[in-house]
């Protein structure tokens, strides 16, 4: 071994929230981990809230608690969701309530940077993790180890490489996984507002002519917008001056929260669905958006990725002493543990997106009648809530 050739149990490629959580979870299981990740851009200090906001389910909270990240968050910056109101594109309305579902809350709304800062601090204090501020650019899987060549000239040897490198995953390309992609030709327009009326810890969602508009509660009467708009319309929305965007959002949400005041610039994220034919290869496992990409209408992509992390850490923690971490038998356990959850959410989000994209009066009547039916079935609603909680 030379100074430029280090060995690890696991090399995690990618430093989004999923990659950082994976590095921490595997290190806390006693493994020596290399995290290959460039630091995220800091959040502009003059904005009250981060542009990237996530609705985190109970399963994500449980993982972050296990990693002792949840306890380190500034809880004044988290907003619980006690109710969710979904409006169809006719008269239908669905109401989900934490109280009726007998759960403490339906979700927590959290800024990406809040979780990221806590993860960064934990990773820097974790002696089992070596954080390498660079990119991976060469992968050679040998029978006894995977060799990862880095852009800074270093070469790592690891028993297992975890691909947490997002929707355009380089690791996934190295293992030759086949990706089925559906481009929604939509952009998720996100922006934060101060609302005139209290949101009452309620998440709102409107289905409007093939587009979906969500307002998620943030602390102190702020809300986060996710407007899944047709690509052309999104370009128009992103070009609007703040006062025009405020008016557009007030109009599409029927003034539900009164006047809205922009508290930061809007950003756009192209939306697509991706399914991958395999999550594993010898000495390689994919997690997060590298493994699946879904429409954000249910706010579940990050939750799915954090459940990948929990499952992978669980499989590795329970491994028989004679197995090596890159053993396909172990990796198949991880893949089997994740297939159903990923498949179900991909199907559900894609199905809902398609259902509300069909134009015409008949289609509108059918989907709104469907919503009304679901709304009248407490058992179905409870099942939907438990599925969303993970
Ligand atoms: C508009 C919108 C709203 C959303 N809302 C929600 C929500 O409310 N709740 C929810 O659960 N999910 C939500 N999601 C989904 C969520 O954002 C994603 O699922 C999540 O961010 C994926 O995280 P990740 O860490 O897997 O990937 P990423 O965040 O994409 O991170 C991948 C990282 O890998 C790095 N990388 C790439 N290649 C290399 C390489 N070769 N070497 C080293 N590093 C590399 C990249 O630079 C990046 O930092 C939303 C998505 C959108 C678009």
Say yes or no: 41 and 122 in one domain. Answer: yes
Q: Is the CB of 302 inside a 6 Å radius of any atom of ligand 1? A: yes
Residue 148 falls inside a structural domain:
yes
pTM for the predicted model, two decimal places: 0.94
Whether residue 251 sits in one domain with residue 124? no
**What value, to the nearest 5°, has the Cα angle with vertex 33 and ends 17 and 343?**
45
Same domain, 266 and 277: no
* CB 12 near ligand 1, within 6 Å: no
Task: For residue 15, give every residue at least 6 positions away whose Cβ sits within 8 Å of its Cβ, in sequence order, or none.
Answer: 35, 36, 37, 38, 39, 40, 164
Q: Ligand 1 centroid vs 362 CA: distance in angstroms?
A: 37
Whether 249 is in a domain gets the answer yes
Four-CA torsion 129, 150, 277, 388, nearest 10 degrees: 40
Residues 264 and 194 in one domain: yes
50, part of any domain: no
Residue-number span of the structural domain to which 37 is assigned: 5-45+115-180+273-353
pLDDT score, position 3: 46
Q: Is 40 helix (H, G, I), strand (E, B) or coil?
A: coil
What is the number of the ligand 1 atom nearest to the C-alpha of 303?
11
CA torsion, ordered 206, 209, 211, 216, to nearest 10 deg? -10
- Residue matched to tokens 């991909």: 346
Ligand 1 neighbourhood includes 312 CB (under 6 angstroms): no
> What pLDDT does residue 108 have?
97
Ligand 1 and 188: CB distance under 6 A? yes
β-partners of residue 6 are 156
Is the minimum distance from the CB of 342 to ligand 1 under 6 angstroms? no
Burial label for 61, CB within 10 Å (0-12, 13-18, 19+), is buried
pLDDT number for residue 199: 97
Residue to mutate, 14, 138, 267, ligand 1, most ligand atoms under 8 Å from C-beta: 14
pLDDT of the chain along its 390 residues, tens only?
444 579 999 999 999 999 999 999 999 999 999 999 988 777 777 888 999 999 999 999 999 999 999 999 999 999 999 999 998 877 678 888 999 888 999 999 999 999 999 999 999 999 999 999 999 999 999 999 999 999 999 999 999 999 999 999 999 999 999 999 999 999 999 999 999 999 999 999 998 888 999 999 999 999 999 999 999 999 999 999 999 999 999 999 999 999 999 999 999 999 999 999 999 999 999 999 999 999 998 889 999 999 999 999 999 999 999 999 999 999 999 999 999 999 998 988 888 787 777 777 766 777 666 766 666 666 666 666 666 666
What is residue 93's predicted lDDT score, i.e. its pLDDT? 80
Question: What's the confidence (pLDDT) of residue 348?
Answer: 85
Instruction: Output the pLDDT for position 2.
Output: 45
Distance 289 CA to ligand 1 centre (A): 6
| Pocket of ligand 1 contains residue 50 by CB under 6 Å | no
Q: Write out the two tokens for 379.
A: 């058992």
Whether 173 is covered by a domain: the verdict is: yes
């Amino acid at each position: 071994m030379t100074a430029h050739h280090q060995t690890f149990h696991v090399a995690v490629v990618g430093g989004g929230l999923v990659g950082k959580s994976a590095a921490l979870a595997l290190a806390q299981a006693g493994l020596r981990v290399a995290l290959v990740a460039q630091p995220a851009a800091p959040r502009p200090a003059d904005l009250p809230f981060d542009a990237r906001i996530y609705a985190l389910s109970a399963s994500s909270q449980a993982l972050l608690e296990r990693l002792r990240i949840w306890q380190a968050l500034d809880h004044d910056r988290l907003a619980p969701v006690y109710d969710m109101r979904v409006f169809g594109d006719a008269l239908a309305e669905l109401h989900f309530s934490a109280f009726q579902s007998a759960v403490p809350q339906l979700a927590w709304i959290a800024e990406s940077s809040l979780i990221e800062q806590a993860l960064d601090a934990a990773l820097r204090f974790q002696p089992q993790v070596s954080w390498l501020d660079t990119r991976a650019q060469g992968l050679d899987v040998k029978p006894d180890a995977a060799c990862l060549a880095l852009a800074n000239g270093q070469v790592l040897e690891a028993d297992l490489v975890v691909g947490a490198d997002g929707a355009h995953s380089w690791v996934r390309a190295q293992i030759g996984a086949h990706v089925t992609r559906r481009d929604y030709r939509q952009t998720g327009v996100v922006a934060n507002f101060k609302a005139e009326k209290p949101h009452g810890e309620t998440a709102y969602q409107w289905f409007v002519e093939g587009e979906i508009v969500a307002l998620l509660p943030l602390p102190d009467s702020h809300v986060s917008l996710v407007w899944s708009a047709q690509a052309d319309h999104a370009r128009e929305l992103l070009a609007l001056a703040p006062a025009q965007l405020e008016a557009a959002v007030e109009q599409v949400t029927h003034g539900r929260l009164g006047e809205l005041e922009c508290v930061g610039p809007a950003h756009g994220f192209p939306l697509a669905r991706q399914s991958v034919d395999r999550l594993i290869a010898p000495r390689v496992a994919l997690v997060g958006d590298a493994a699946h990409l879904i429409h954000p209408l249910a706010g579940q992509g990050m939750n799915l990725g954090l459940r990948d992390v929990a499952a992978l850490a669980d499989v590795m923690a329970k491994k028989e002493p004679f197995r090596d971490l890159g053993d396909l038998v172990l990796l198949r356990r991880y893949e089997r543990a994740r297939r159903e959850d990923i498949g179900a959410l991909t199907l559900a989000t894609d199905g809902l997106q398609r259902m509300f994209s069909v134009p015409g009066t008949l289609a509108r009547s059918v989907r709104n009648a469907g919503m009304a039916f679901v709304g009248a079935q407490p058992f179905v609603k409870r099942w939907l809530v438990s599925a969303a909680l993970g």
